């Protein structure tokens, strides 16, 4: 492969990744391998795409603290999965930083939105099938444990695409904020909006509403607020339209009524399950305040803090709160490392936005803020379908900013 051919290969692989990422984590990983193949064929020398990255230090502090916690508290027992995830996070950061440093252009964004829109369309159709053909419905717990890609398509009362409804709702938040950020940038530049942005936005917003994911609804409102603060004049119509669609879901959705009613009854409800998980995580942290119980060991210790089985499961490995789970598994040191990592992302995005008001910085800033708020009720940043696009978008934003600085 010549140098030019290798760059074309990287662009194609990035577009392939962008399309598959909202639909299949396996497909996304295959595409990353293709990106890496293209980078190797370029014989990349030096670290110009990431050597000055503001994320390197907080990222490696987070990883090293996880290694120490796992070694001291568990002798690496049960911690291999989380540590592998941490190293994959770092690997993806470097791969995407190098890839987006090859002048990839915005083809990636178009294919990403096609992937997001395809997932949104699937979610919308799943809900419609359940609504009009209820006998074909299946509860997501009956199917979601299957690893086969095609088994993920089934009718249910919660739009889910090919993944869990919670993760799906969070992905739709990212997609919706991306569409809005794009529209804001186009308007600021005085260009005419494309019809596809309207159609994609409708499917994405509808699927977000139909996902039944309350944490995602809250995160989307927070992301909208960030956009409104930064670019209110340019996003005023979409802001109020989305608010009118999303906010009523909090109060009129069946899941909200069930959770609210369950909070004042003897039945197990989503609210009570979450509360029990949070209490257990907090007690776990108080008993192991410095380094926690070790990454990935929440499930092994949960039975010491709550009777089992609980909530229809033999044990729980997810505290449904990223910060409490971090405190429980990695202690106060790991929690500080996590806050440093997320805070560095926010600070760098705001710094780039203040400098060039770029589309990517606006998208990432609204997304990472919404993700931080969503993490109070979920551990989204520990899910590959969420942290992978997050780190990719950050790498793209930072690499693009560095390339713009180098231009006359």
Model pLDDT, residue 215: 87
Q: Answer with the residue of higher pLDDT: 281 or 201.
A: 281
* Phi and psi at residue 310, to the nearest 5°: -145, 135
Whole-number percent of the chain with pLDDT over 70: 79
Task: Return the number of other C-beta atoms located less than 10 Å from residue 37's C-beta.
Answer: 14
| Cα distance between residue 187 and residue 202, in whole Å | 19
**Model confidence band, residue 195 (pLDDT cutoffs 50, 70, 90):** confident
pLDDT tens track for 358-395 = 899 999 999 999 999 999 988 888 889 999 999 999 99
pLDDT tens track for 343-363 = 999 999 999 999 988 899 999
Most confident by average pLDDT, 76-80, 134-138, 308-312, 336-340: 336-340
Q: For the residues 130-142, what does the mean pLDDT come to?
A: 62
pLDDT tens track for 206-250 = 888 888 888 898 899 899 889 888 887 766 766 667 777 666 666
pTM for this entry: 0.88
Across-strand partners of 137?
Answer: 155
Model pLDDT, residue 200: 86
Q: Are 210 and 124 in contact (CB under 8 A)?
A: yes
CB hemisphere CA count around 37 (13 angstroms): 13
**Model confidence band, residue 139 (pLDDT cutoffs 50, 70, 90):** low
**Model confidence band, residue 46 (pLDDT cutoffs 50, 70, 90):** very low
Sign of the alpha-carbon dihedral angle for 369, 375, 376, 377: positive
Q: For the residues 276-283, what does the mean pLDDT come to?
A: 93
Task: Return the number of other C-beta atoms located less than 10 Å from residue 104's C-beta.
Answer: 22
Q: Are 164 and 207 in contact (CB under 8 A)?
A: no
Phi-psi region for residue 24, left (φ > 0), alpha (ψ -120 to 50) or beta?
A: beta
Model pLDDT, residue 89: 93
pLDDT tens track for 16-32 = 999 999 999 999 999 99
Across-strand partners of 310?
Answer: 313
- Judged against a pLDDT cut of 80, whether residue 119 lies above it is answered with yes
**Model confidence band, residue 113 (pLDDT cutoffs 50, 70, 90):** very high
| Cα distance between residue 17 and residue 14, in whole Å | 5
Both tokens of 238, joined, read 């979409």
The H-assigned helical ranges of 21-136 are 25-42, 56-74, 80-100, 107-132
Q: For the residues 171-183, what does the mean pLDDT come to?
A: 92
Q: Which residues of 240-255 are buried (b: 16+ CB within 10 A; e: fewer)?
A: eebeeebeebeeebeb
Give burial (CB, 10 Å; 0-12/13-18/19+) of 334: buried
**Model confidence band, residue 397 (pLDDT cutoffs 50, 70, 90):** very high
Q: For the residues 288-316, what does the mean pLDDT come to?
A: 85
Least confident of 16-20, 180-184, 242-246, 285-289: 242-246
- Judged against a pLDDT cut of 50, whether residue 302 lies above it is answered with yes
Give the CA dihedral 104, 105, 111, 116, nearest 10 degrees: 100
Q: What is the mean pLDDT of the chain?
A: 82
Q: Answer with the residue of higher pLDDT: 338 or 53.
A: 338
Whole-number percent of the chain with pLDDT over 90: 38
């Amino acid at each position: 492969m010549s140098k030019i051919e290798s760059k074309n290969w990287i662009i194609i692989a990035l577009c392939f990744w962008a399309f598959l990422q909202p639909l299949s984590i396996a497909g996304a990983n295959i595409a990353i391998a293709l990106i890496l193949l293209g980078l190797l064929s370029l014989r990349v020398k030096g670290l110009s795409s990431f050597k000055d990255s503001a994320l390197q230090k907080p990222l490696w502090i987070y990883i090293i603290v996880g290694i120490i916690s796992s070694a001291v508290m568990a002798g690496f027992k049960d911690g291999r999965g989380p540590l592998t995830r941490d190293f994959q996070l770092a690997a993806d950061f470097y791969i995407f930083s190098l890839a987006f440093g090859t002048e990839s252009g915005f083809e990636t964004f178009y294919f990403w939105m096609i992937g997001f829109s395809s997932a949104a369309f699937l979610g919308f159709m799943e809900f419609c099938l359940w609504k009009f053909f209820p006998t074909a419905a299946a509860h997501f717990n009956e199917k979601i444990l299957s690893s086969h890609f095609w088994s993920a398509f089934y009718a249910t009362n919660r739009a889910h695409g090919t993944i869990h409804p919670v993760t799906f709702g969070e992905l739709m938040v990212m997609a919706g904020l991306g569409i809005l950020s794009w529209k804001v940038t186009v308007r600021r530049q005085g260009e005419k909006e494309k019809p596809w942005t309207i159609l994609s936005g409708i499917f994405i917003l509808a699927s977000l509403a139909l996902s039944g994911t309350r944490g995602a609804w809250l995160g989307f409102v927070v992301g909208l607020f960030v956009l409104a603060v930064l670019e209110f004049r340019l996003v005023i119509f979409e802001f109020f339209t989305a608010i009118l669609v999303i906010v009523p879901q909090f109060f009129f959705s069946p899941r909200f009524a069930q959770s609210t009613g369950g909070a004042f009854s003897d039945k197990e409800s989503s609210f009570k399950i979450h509360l029990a998980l949070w209490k257990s995580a907090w007690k776990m942290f108080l008993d192991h305040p410095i380094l926690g119980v070790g990454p990935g060991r929440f499930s092994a210790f949960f039975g010491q803090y709550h009777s089992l089985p609980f909530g229809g499961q033999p044990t729980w490995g997810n505290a449904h709160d990223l910060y409490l789970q971090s405190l429980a598994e990695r202690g106060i040191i790991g929690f500080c490392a996590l806050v440093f990592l997320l805070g560095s992302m926010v600070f760098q995005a705001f710094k780039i936005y203040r400098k060039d008001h770029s589309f990517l910085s606006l998208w990432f800033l609204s997304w990472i803020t919404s993700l931080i708020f969503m993490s109070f009720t979920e551990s989204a940043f520990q899910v590959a379908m969420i942290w992978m696009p997050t780190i990719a978008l950050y790498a793209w934003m930072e690499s693009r900013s560095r390339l713009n600085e180098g231009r006359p």
